[in-house]
Amino acid sequence: MPSPRAVILDLGNVLVFHDNALLFHRLGQRAGLPPQEVAQRLTGAGWTAANRGLLDAEGIRKDVCGALGLELPMEEFAPIWSSHFTVHEAVLPRVEGLVGRVKLVLLSNTNALHVAYVRPRLPLLQRFDAVLMSCEVGHVKPEPAFYQLALERAGCAPHEAAFFDDLPEFVEAANALGIRGHVFTDAPAFDAQLKALGL
């Protein structure tokens, strides 16, 4: 099988780590709630609406604070809401090495505030051929339309693209469309996966 013409990458827990447990813990401290209660209250309809781009920054603040019975102004809320990110430095050189050799596409389920936080901290994204944030295009994984948009932007057929995501559910959705999906685990495994693909 020829090496892929496009590599489509997830963002969270691939290019940046997002420690949701830490986020729920910090919000819980402010709200006086246990982290698992925070998780339960937040990972419902509002979370999906934010990922679909139906909530802007202020909409997210209101939705999260409302769900937790909190009142935090944006200047306090926004730093906590993005306090759980760490750039995955070990993987960046390998991704940078793909620039110009394949079409590089980012495919992320995320929200307006997290995009605003992560984008300036990940200048490598400027060298991608397309950066598709769910909240900016109105589609979310695992919907086929979101993957199809990535293929369209890469200008290739499904079998010509490799896709990496830490969530098996999203990898399976890619495979169902004929994309060569791989579960991302860590930088050394990613390196081996790319080598096996001839990259």
Task: Tell me the C-alpha distance between 173 and 144, whole Å.
Answer: 7
What is the DSSP track for 114-148?
HHHHHGGG-GGGGGSSEEEEHHHHS--TT-HHHHH
Assigned token pair, 101: 């050799």
Nearest approach, Cβ of residue 12 and Mg ion (Å): 4
| Residue 160 CB partners (closer than 8 Å, separation 6+) | 4, 5, 6
> Considering only 56-64, 72-80, 121-129, 166-174, which stretch makes contact with Mg ion by CB under 5 A?
166-174
Output the smallest distance, CB 109 to Mg ion, in A. 8
Q: How far apart are CA 77 and CA 70, in angstroms?
A: 10
Residue 166 near Mg ion by CB under 5 A = yes
Q: Kindly tell me which residue out of 4, 7, 9, 12 binds Mg ion, with binding defined by CB under 5 A.
A: 12
User: To the nearest whole angstrom, how small is the minimum distance from the Cβ of residue 58 to Mg ion?
Assistant: 26
Site for Mg ion in 13-52 (CB under 5 A): 13
53 binding Mg ion? (CB under 5 A)? no
We find the least distance from the C-beta atom of residue 171 to Mg ion, in angstroms, to be 10
Q: Footprint of Mg ion on this chain (CB under 5 A)?
A: 10, 12-13, 166
